[in-house]
């Protein structure tokens, strides 16, 4: 389960998300888009490996995938503050950039 604390009405939103990363991976953390208050990203245990973008209502908006290169779980993710760039990192320190 994932809890979304931001909500204009002050209500919390809960939705189902596989957060079981096990003992070797960093825990998932939702990261809000720096220029949009209605979108956030979070790592995913789904296959093919991906980074998931959700709306503030809990609806899956987009899955960022690269089946040839992204073969691990991106537990840590970040947006560039001014450009449309998303970076995901795995527990081994490998970075994946989506533009």
Pairing state between β 50-55 and 2-4? unpaired
Range of the domain at 12: 2-98
* Model pLDDT for residues 4-46, shown as the tens digit of each residue: 665 555 667 777 888 888 888 888 888 999 999 899 999 999 9
pTM, 2 dp:
0.86
Separation between Cα atoms, residue 95 and residue 74, nearest integer Å: 8
Provide the pairing of β-strand 76-79 with 95-98: unpaired
In whole angstroms, give the CA distance from residue 73 to residue 46. Answer: 9
Q: Rounded CA gap, 46 and 93, in Å?
A: 20
Q: Angle 74-55-8 (CA atoms, 0-180°, nearest 5)? A: 125
Q: Structurally, how many domains does the chain consist of?
A: 1
pLDDT tens-digit series, residues 44-88 = 999 999 999 999 888 999 999 999 999 999 999 999 999 999 999
């Amino acid at each position: 389960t994932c809890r979304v604390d931001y909500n204009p009405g002050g209500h919390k939103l809960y939705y189902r998300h596989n957060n079981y990363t096990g003992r070797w991976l960093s825990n998932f953390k939702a990261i809000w888009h720096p220029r949009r208050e209605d979108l956030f990203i979070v790592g995913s245990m789904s296959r093919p490996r991906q980074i998931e973008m959700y709306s503030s209502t809990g609806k899956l908006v987009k899955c960022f995938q690269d089946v040839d290169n992204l073969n691990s779980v991106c537990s840590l993710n970040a947006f560039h503050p001014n450009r449309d760039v998303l970076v995901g990192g795995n527990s081994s320190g490998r970075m994946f950039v989506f533009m």
